[in-house]
Amino acid sequence: MLSGTTLAKNASDEQIAALAKALAHPARLKILALLARTPGCIGGDIVQAVGLAQSTVSEHLRILKAAGVIEGQIDPPRVCYALAPGALAPLAALIGALEVASSDPACCVIPDNT
């Protein structure tokens, strides 16, 4: 079963919520998929691949970086981005725990009174 102490060991609720919020946009998911396929991607390449304005992509990158999901390494005049190792582990652990908890057939079974 999923317990509060199990989640507390892995990450705080605030950290998991911040990760989920950072992922809650289709363009950010597209950026993450691109970075998973192409580590060390240059900002301009991300703009071209995502198909949004440079300022919009920069804002999405800022949000992902602030949440700790990606890292940016400055190599003047450009910035290379990559996924932050292990950054999504707390969210993955929560999802895994929820899947295990929801597969318990004895949980929340409503008897058929017919």
Q: State pLDDT tens for residues 67-87.
A: 999 998 888 888 899 999 999
The residue-averaged pLDDT of 40-61 equals 92
Which domains are present in the chain? 4-102 (1.10.10.10)
Q: Tell whether the model's pLDDT for residue 107 goes beyond 80.
A: no
Q: What is the pLDDT of residue 39?
A: 79
Q: For residue 7, what pLDDT band results from cuts at 50, 70 and 90?
A: very low
The structure tokens 């990158």 sit at: 61
Predicted TM-score (pTM) of the model is 0.75
> What percentage of the chain exceeds 90 in pLDDT?
50
Q: Are 87 and 19 in contact (CB under 8 A)?
A: yes
| Beta-sheet strands, E only, within 1-114 | 41-42, 70-75, 78-83
